[in-house]
Structure 1
């Protein structure tokens, strides 16, 4: 139990709680717009940026963040070019991200162990700089969603109606994608690139089963994510488990219980 009072664990808990706010906030919009796979895509691109950061000696998360934001612009450009095939843009950018990551892995053999920690998460290694970055992204995401909540709601359910009503649809689409890039680039050190999409989608999947309104689904998704982060980190710390994997598996267990409870209630 001493681990729970250690400085590194307190930093991990703080970082986890912050991502537990931003990931489901963005995730609920992605899930409802059927863009869930964008999380995996931007995570792979971010890993390429992290690998380049280690190669060049630049703060890896900063380089990963730049890569993710550039990729988000590219995704929006491709979505416009292939309007009827929105998922194609995601597949193309993911392929590019994987290719770049493989290339940088080959060039930086000595840094591969460091990069691998970003694949599976290394929340216990969060430092003060990491927390400042995650905190800044959290503030930005919360402010943007608060200011544009009604517009994003309409865009999510009726994009054509949003366009007809005069809303800046292109700007809002880009804004959502860029915020997704910011969240993912800061979350990969916490849960890892291979698991980050779970934090975006599973809380939203749970909340959509039990919420009676869109606002409720947003609130419930954040609460579910925070519960998973706190319990998952405590369990991982006490029993020496992989924290990122523990959080994700706990989220899956919560989804299964929600499905069972929903089925029983409906019956």
Structure 2
């Protein structure tokens, strides 16, 4: 199963792009309509003619109790609503009605729109723009938001210096400080962060531009202490970092500009034909 979506564009005749949910085993797919957020993006692109602003990413996860899947948009009002305090809006797609609906109340804090939400054990997670940043969860069954904890670092000078991921089935955060990147793993039982590893970024400049300011995205921890990493640019390669000897190897390099493809083992399940 995979979920794909096209970012809306403002060119004539191309403002109708939809989201697609497909089932790899059958090759079947289902499209669903634009959300209100995507309509706002289209209007902003038409008005300003550019896209020099962060694009919140679509969250996707499974309600563990009902077994249903839910696409979720969470976004800040800044950039769309003039004046006043920055608030957040949350839209959830309901496959039974084929429509988006608002969840109220939404997040109590503005989110960091530079990062993709991650899914773990029935909830989606975001980072907030607070100082220090906080980890925000959205329970896909109750559809409620909750602040889980503070991040293990202060508010970064550049929001692209931090990233969120899932490693060893645990929520993890990573921060780039100059030429070093640190990864923390969250212990949900004790509500504490533990340093998982840190690594020198200098050797990566053989494959990734040194002027790249964003932290590398940890994808997975492989066998024998190998860490799979990816640069954030559309042409950046996948790298394997061997933790015990600090070496790096090139895993693969895209031939054309492309985005990331993420694998969520916890989302694998059989789909009923009625949803496709």
Relative to the length of structure 1, the TM-score reads 0.26
Structure whose residues are more often helix by fraction: 1
For CA contacts below 8 A with separation 6 or more, give which structure has more relative contact order: 1
Relative to the length of structure 2, the TM-score reads 0.25
Structure whose residues are more often strand by fraction: 2
